[in-house]
Structure 1
Amino acid sequence: MERALVVGGTRFIGRHTVAEFLDADYDVTILNRGRHENPFADDPAVDHVEGDRRDRETLEAARRRVDPDVVVDCVAYFPKDVRVATDVFADVDAYVYVSSGAAYGAERVPKREGDTALASCTDEQATTDSRETYGPRKAEGDRAVFAAAADGVRAMSVRPTVVYGPYDYTERFAYWVDRVQSFDRVVVPGDGLSLWQMAYVEDVASALRVVAESGTAGEAYNVGDEHAPTLGQWVDLLAATCGTSVETVGASERDLARAGLAPEDFPVYRDPPHLLSVAKLRDLGWSSTDHETALDRTVAEHRENDRTGREYGPDRAIERDVLDALAE
Structure 2
Amino acid sequence: MTDSALVIGGTRFIGRHTVEDLLDNDYEVTIFNRGNHENPFADDDRVTHVEGDRTDDSALEAAKSAADPDVVIDCVAYHPADVERAVEIFSDVDGYVYISSGAAYGREEIPKREGETPLCDCTPEQAESDDSDSYGPRKAEGDRIVFDAAENGVNAMSVRPCIVYGPDDYTERLDYWLDRVDTYDRVVVPGDGTNIWHRAYVEDVASALRIVAEEGEPGEAYNVGDRRLVTLEEMVELAADAADASVEVVHAGERELAAAGLSLDDFILYRDYPHVLDTNKLAALGWESTPIAEAMRESVRDYRASDRDGSEWDPGRDAEESVLEILDTL
Gaps of 5+ in 2: none
Shift of 1:245: 1.1
Secondary structure of the corresponding residue to residue 240 of structure 1:
helix
Distance 1:288 1:258 in 2: 41
CA shift at 1:194, angstroms? 1.1
- Residue 48 of structure 1 corresponds to which residue in structure 2? 49
Aligned residue identity for 2:131: S
Helix, strand or coil at the partner of 1:308: coil
Partners of 2:159 and 2:293 in 1: how far apart?
25
Alpha-carbon offset, residue 130 of structure 1: 0.7
Please name the residue that 2:133 is paired with: 132
Aligned to 2:184: 183
Match of 1:264 in 2: 265
Letter matched to residue 249 of structure 1: V
1:30-179 mapped onto 2 (5 Å cutoff)? 30-179=31-180
Query: What CA distance in whole angstroms lies between the structure 2 residues aligned with 1:266 and 1:313?
Result: 8
Secondary structure in structure 1 of the residue aligned to 2:249 = strand
DSSP 3-state at the match of 2:219: coil
2:19 is matched with 18
CA distance in 2 between counterparts of 1:242 and 1:39 reads 26
1:114: how far off?
0.2
Q: Distance in 2 between matches of 1:109 and 1:207?
A: 22
Q: How far off its partner does 1:314 sit?
A: 1.0
Provide the C-alpha distance between the structure 2 equivalents of 1:125 and 1:187, rounded to a whole number of angstroms. Answer: 36
Which residue in the other structure is 1:226 paired with? 227
For residues 222-279 of structure 1, the C-alpha deviation after alignment (integer angstroms, 9 at most, x for no partner) is: 0000011000000111111111111111111122122221111111111100000000
Identity within the alignment, %: 61
Q: Distance in 1 between matches of 2:261 and 2:84?
A: 44
Residue 314 of structure 2 corresponds to which residue in structure 1? 313
CA drift of 1:316 comes to 1.2
Displacement of 1:67: 1.1
TM-score (norm 2): 0.98
Shift of 1:171: 0.2
Aligned partners of 2:88, 2:256: CA distance in 1, in Å? 53
**Letter paired with 1:77:** Y
Question: What letter is aligned with 1:104?
Answer: Y
- Equivalences, count: 328
SS at match of 2:86: helix
| Residue 313 (structure 1) shift | 2.4
Deviations 1:114-153 (A, max 9, x none): 0000001000000000110000000000001001101100
Q: 2-side partners of 1:137 and 1:164: how far apart?
A: 22
CA distance in 2, matches of 1:207, 1:149: 19
2:208 is the alignment partner of 1:202: no
Paired with 1:54 and 1:304, the residues of 2 have a C-alpha distance of: 35
- Whole-angstrom CA distance in 2 between matches of 1:141 and 1:254: 41
Alpha-carbon offset, residue 103 of structure 1: 0.3
Write the distance in 1 (CA, Å) between the matches of 2:99 and 2:219: 14
For residue 133 of structure 1, give the secondary structure of its aligned residue in structure 2. helix
Question: For the aligned residues, what is the CA RMSD?
Answer: 0.7
The AA in structure 2 aligned to 1:62 is A
Whichever residue aligns with residue 101 of structure 2, its letter is: S
Alpha-carbon shift at residue 57 of structure 1 (Å): 1.1
State the distance in 2 between where 1:281 and 1:38 align: 30
Instruction: Give the gaps of 5 or more residues in structure 1.
Output: none
Deviations 1:298-328 (A, max 9, x none): 1111100132102212111111111111111
2:248 aligned with 1:244: no
Q: More displaced, 250-259 or 132-141?
A: 250-259
User: Could you tell me which amino acid in structure 2 is paired with residue 262 of structure 1?
Assistant: S
- Measure the CA separation in 1 of the matches of 2:305 and 2:202: 18
Aligned position for 1:277: 278
Q: Which amino acid aligns with 2:206?
A: A
What is aligned with 2:302? 301
TM-score in terms of structure 1 length: 0.99
**Structure 1 SS opposite 2:133:** coil
**Structure 1 residue runs of 4 or more that deviate by more than 3 Å after TM superposition:** none
Partner of 1:214: 215
